[in-house]
Amino acid sequence: MTKKRILMILTSHDELGMSGKKTGNWFDEVATPYYLFSQAGYEVALASPKGGAAPLDPFSFDDAFMTDNTHRFLADGKAQRALASTVPLRHINYHGFDAVFFPGGYGQLWDLASDAFALQLIEAFISQNKLVAMVCHAPGILRDAKKPNGEPLVRGRKLTGFSNAEDDELDLSQHLLFQLETTLKEKGAHYQRSENNWTPLVVEDENLLTGQNPASAAPIANALIQRLG
């Protein structure tokens, strides 16, 4: 039997607005799903808007955020090569994939949220009942996604993503292009969040799966695996 395929789409953006801070993909939100998908027998392909090396958020290398999977990833030559040579997103034939997964990171708010190809892919997957999974800041990419009738894709849908309170706790809100929670609520989404910051939460609404924060990386990856089952 042919392996099912998961496309993992990362940001290429590494600047946090005008703050002078570096950003990128949140390391554990790449590493943990990468290994969970691979161990479950799925083929995983990495893509990004620019292709080539996808940046990792330096803050995600802090000891408080490193995990067994991030340490494993650093020592894994195959994984390192995949991260260093992501396929340019527009070179991807996304019709050949069974699901798409977007790790989080602040960079996603700058490039993927306004990437016409990424939005086209999401809209196609949703309309074809293929699974779309997004964690942390990645649901912000849904900002401009549309239903076939032109309405916001998120209108009337239950979802989650990094909360305003979590942005505020990191003292980064003022540097952001937009805040996910506020923007998706304005688009008509039924936004949900955990009672406490940093507590994992996964929300499933038909074929759209969203996770709130870095702690949700493993739960959302496992939810996607179960749905693909």
Summarize pLDDT for 90-135 with one digit per residue, the tens. Answer: 999 999 999 999 999 999 999 999 999 999 999 999 999 999 999 9
Per-residue model confidence as pLDDT tens digits over 148-166:
999 999 999 999 999 999 9
Query: What's the CATH code, domain 5-228?
Result: 3.40.50.880
Side-chain-side CA neighbours of 181 within 13 Å: the count stands at 16
What would the pLDDT profile of 26-63 be if each residue is shown by its tens digit? 999 999 999 999 999 999 999 999 999 999 999 999 99
How do the domains of the chain map onto residue ranges? 5-228
Between the alpha carbon of residue 138 and those of residues 39, 41, 77, the distances in Å are: 23, 24, 26
**CA–CA separation, 130 vs 128, rounded Å?**
5
Q: pLDDT > 70: what percent of the chain?
A: 100
Within 13 A of 14's CA, how many CA atoms are on the CB side? 13
For 11, the 3-state DSSP assignment is coil
Residue 103 Rama label (left phi>0; alpha psi -120 to 50; beta): beta
pTM for the full predicted model: 0.97
Rounded to whole angstroms, the Cα distance separating 114 from 145 reads 9
Residue 212 token pair: 């709130």
Q: Are strands 208-211 and 202-205 parallel, antiparallel or unpaired?
A: antiparallel
Q: Which of 144, 150, 133 is nearest to 111 (CA)?
A: 144
Q: What is the C-alpha radius of gyration for the chain, rounded to an integer number of angstroms?
A: 16
